[in-house]
Amino acid sequence: MATAGYNFTISVSATSGGTYSEVPSTDGSFNRTRNILDVTDTSNAGFQQRLAGLADTALSTEANWSASDTALSVIETAYENGSTMYVKFLPDNVAGNGYKVPVLVENFSISSPVGDKISVSVSFQGNGAVTADDA
């Protein structure tokens, strides 16, 4: 269910091969970073040399909150238990074109501004290798 104006989807599961439920996201991001290690020595004619170090992943989403939403329940349970869960991020909402990553839930915040829209903000930290979405 890609929200109008957005083409991405974020789905979650308690297990890698389990059933994935789509998060009712209104915004989302998928970030991959890598440490860059300086290995410069005096034999390289005054130029720095670097090596690629460890990779890391972070995801976040803003979503419409509902007490009965399956995906949000999976996220909140993983947060409360401190357990690894799995996220699929599909940038173009097409199965098989995205990424799957084991994560830990870093933040699960519910906000209720003046008005009738309750929202949830979630951030995830990678807990293993990113793989291709296996549709």
Please choose, from the candidates 111, 104, 110, the residue with its C-alpha nearest in 3D space to the C-alpha of residue 75. Answer: 104
Q: What is the pLDDT of residue 135?
A: 65
pLDDT > 80? residue 82: yes
Half-sphere exposure of 124 (CA within 13 A, CB side): 33
Instruction: With beta carbons less than 8 A apart as the criterion, state whether 30 and 97 touch.
Output: no
Assess whether pLDDT exceeds 60 at residue 79: yes
Among 4.10.410, 1.25.40, 2.40.128, 3.40.50, what is the CATH number of 9-132? 4.10.410
Domain ranges of the chain: 9-132
- 10 Å Cβ neighbour count for 78? 21
9 contacts 94 by C-beta, under 8 angstroms:
no
| Predicted structure pTM score | 0.85
In whole angstroms, what is the distance from residue 55 CA to residue 107 CA?
A: 21
30-39 tens-digit pLDDT: 999 999 999 9
Find the mean pLDDT for residues 68-76: 96
pLDDT at 100 over 90: yes
